[in-house]
């Protein structure tokens, strides 16, 4: 689904980077009537935006850093996003087991204050402080869809069953799950439906100011191309600094701090649908989350990552750290043999000079350089605030586009998400009724991926055979063709690791057959 770019007319906005921020800005700008081009050197969401912990959340632990505004904005945004994408996002309850030995991460402002006023606590997190944090979490951003915090007794309950017996009490609060890379693709798709040109596998070679425009050289499926734009947006994520220094060559005193977050996926460790929020003896926290029906996702780490060109990988040390952390809580210990997959992403945090990766701000910073045609550089950000980041980006650009139409994205559904949050179950049942050859798991997977567009994937099929070649794990030719036509997929990795997580269920022979099929489709087109 490449648009062959038309280079004759200058774009109002040319965006470098096809992660969540770039695609979110493309959608927002295109919906305000601007002409938009976006270049992504790989697949959409191929870096940071597909390697998150998969949550729309306020960031409970950021309260200890007094990042009240960041948390408030994120909490307000959770339900806005949930309503716009109820197929790829859904509410989740988080269980926070409490034990008196829980400790702060030593560098938090809260821990420093408590060490002075309550030195006898020796860095421990008191229960009253967690209750206060959860009270703020419930009330800072307003809630109407998500239930409030409650206290749980863990003895003889489903929530307590997988945990060591020493955990007798827990707090339970609400946040939301998000299919992160699908979020990016659907923003790109909506941007294109509104007129944007989305160019994947297209690398920006250079960009320079020529007169009152940017001249951007790209290399991609259509060879070398020259584009012109009134404004350039650098949404390069981990590469934002590299783009400033080597592609556009403008001066900037701002920088990013690259922090690697690694995750492990194990066989399912428990059989309920709630997540666990675990606090470690080192003061850090990790999550254990039900994942893809049969698995458990555990993460994340915070480690410095020096070079954006070096692909992040979960190191054996990080894997073992997460295993040991989880084993402090789970009654049945896990080992490296239980790990079925790992992934790692680099978070491009704004460099605020914090002493540790954990303490570095998760808020974003937007900077315009207008010594000539304007460029907007984006530092930091988190997946929960991508939509408000896009709105703030457009506000920053307002002086250069005085005719800009007003904000519009709050409450506007992404493709396939045009139904109420409460109707997910009835919609899946209706899909099963319309296509009785589907199994319940298959129907749920399709609806959770495509929402109301699942019918477009399935078309007028009366049997599973009508969907063409079957690659394994319910992936069919019809779905692959849909992903290639409407969702920019060009390789098997795009399909089985970013548009879905079917790679967890497919073997090498099935993936090889998928590769052969996709190459054939590309050659035929």
Confidence of residue 107 (pLDDT cuts 50, 70, 90): low
Q: How confident is the model at residue 165 (pLDDT cuts 50, 70, 90)?
A: very high
**Which of 400, 415, 449 is where one domain is finished?**
400
Asked whether residue 369 is assigned to any structural domain, the reply reads yes
Q: Give 280's pLDDT tier (boundaries 50, 70, 90).
A: confident
- Looking at the fold, whether 249 and 378 belong to one and the same domain comes out as yes
User: Is residue 427 located within the same domain as residue 520?
Assistant: yes
Instruction: Please give the pLDDT value at position 451.
Output: 98
Task: Mark whether 382 and 429 lie in a shared domain.
Answer: no
Domain-located, residue 377: yes
Residue 455 lies in a domain: yes
Banded pLDDT at 65 (limits 50, 70, 90): low
In a domain, 405, yes or no: no
Print burial letters for 88-102: b (CB count within 10 Å at least 16), e (below 16): bbbbbbbbbbbbeeb
Residue 37 belongs to a domain:
yes
User: Which CATH number belongs to the domain containing residue 445 in this structure?
Assistant: 1.10.8.870
Mean pLDDT of the chain: 89
Strand partners of residue 260: 303, 346
Could you list the residue range(s) of the whole structural domain that residue 27 is in?
A: 11-48+181-253+361-400
How far is Cα of residue 44 from the mean position of the Cα atoms in its chain? 12
* Counted domains in the chain: 2
- What is the C-alpha separation between 270 and 273, in angstroms, rounded? 9
pTM score of the predicted model: 0.92
Cα angle: 501, vertex 489, 453; to 5 degrees: 75
507 and 429 inside one domain = yes
**375 and 446 within one domain:** no
- Overall average pLDDT of the 331-354 stretch: 90
Whether residue 511 sits in one domain with residue 456: yes
Please determine, for residue 309, whether its predicted confidence score (pLDDT) is greater than 90: no
- For residues 391 and 518, membership in a common domain is answered with no
pLDDT at residue number 12:
98
Please give the Cα distance from 387 to 17 (Å, whole number). 16
pLDDT of residue 2: 45
Q: Give the confidence band of 1 by pLDDT, cuts at 50, 70, 90.
A: very low
190 and 247 assigned to the same domain? yes
Residues 517 and 429 placed together within one structural domain of the fold = yes
Phi, psi dihedral angles at 324 (to 5 degrees) = -65, -40
């Amino acid at each position: 689904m490449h648009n062959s770019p038309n280079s004759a007319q200058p774009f109002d906005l040319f965006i470098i980077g096809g992660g969540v921020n770039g695609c979110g800005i493309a959608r927002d700008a295109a919906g305000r009537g601007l002409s938009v081009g976006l270049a992504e050197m790989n697949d959409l969401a191929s870096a940071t935006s597909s390697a998150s912990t998969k949550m729309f959340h306020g960031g409970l632990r950021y309260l200890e850093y007094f990042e009240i505004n960041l948390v408030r904005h994120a909490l307000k945004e959770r339900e806005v996003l949930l309503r716009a994408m109820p197929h790829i996002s859904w509410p989740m309850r988080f269980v926070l087991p409490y034990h008196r030995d829980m400790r702060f991460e030593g560098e938090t402002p809260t821990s420093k204050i408590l060490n002075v006023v309550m030195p006898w606590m020796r860095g421990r997190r008191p229960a009253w402080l967690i209750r206060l944090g959860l009270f703020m979490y419930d009330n800072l951003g307003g809630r109407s869809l998500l239930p409030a915090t409650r206290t749980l007794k863990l003895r003889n309950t489903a929530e307590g069953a997988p945990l060591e017996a020493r955990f007798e009490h827990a707090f339970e609060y609400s946040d939301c799950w998000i299919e992160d890379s699908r979020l990016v693709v659907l923003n790109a798709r909506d941007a294109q439906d509104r007129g944007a040109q989305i160019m994947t596998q297209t690398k920006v070679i250079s960009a320079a100011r020529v007169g009152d425009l940017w001249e951007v050289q790209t290399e991609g499926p259509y060879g070398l191309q020259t584009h012109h734009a009134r404004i350039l947006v650098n949404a390069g994520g981990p590469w934002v600094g590299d783009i400033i220094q080597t592609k556009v060559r403008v001066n900037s005193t701002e920088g990013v701090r690259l922090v690697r977050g690694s995750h492990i996926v194990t066989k399912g460790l428990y059989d309920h649908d709630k997540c666990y929020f675990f606090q470690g003896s080192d003061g850090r926290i990790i999550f254990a989350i039900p994942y893809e029906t049969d698995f458990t996702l555990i993460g994340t780490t915070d480690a410095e990552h020096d070079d954006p060109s070096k692909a992040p990988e979960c190191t054996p040390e990080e894997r073992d750290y997460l295993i040991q952390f989880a084993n402090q809580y789970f009654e049945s210990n896990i080992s490296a043999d239980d790990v079925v997959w790992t992934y790692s992403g680099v978070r491009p945090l704004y460099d605020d000079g914090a002493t540790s990766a954990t303490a570095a701000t998760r808020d974003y910073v937007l900077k315009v350089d207008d010594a000539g045609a304007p460029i907007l550089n984006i530092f930091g950000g988190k997946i929960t605030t991508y939509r408000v980041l896009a709105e703030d980006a457009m506000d920053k650009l307002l002086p250069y586009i005085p005719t800009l139409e007003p904000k519009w994205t709050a409450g506007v559904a992404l493709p396939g998400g045009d139904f109420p949050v409460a109707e997910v179950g009835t919609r899946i049942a209706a899909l099963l009724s319309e296509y009785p050859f589907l199994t319940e798991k298959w129907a749920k997977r399709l609806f959770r991926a495509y929402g109301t567009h699942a019918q477009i994937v399935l078309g007028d099929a009366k049997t599973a055979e009508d969907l063409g070649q079957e690659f394994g794990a319910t992936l069919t030719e019809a779905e692959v063709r849909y992903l290639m036509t409407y969702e920019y997929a060009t390789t098997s990795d795009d399909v089985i690791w970013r548009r879905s997580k079917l790679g967890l269920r497919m073997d090498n022979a099935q993936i090889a057959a998928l590769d052969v099929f996709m190459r054939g489709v590309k050659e035929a087109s």
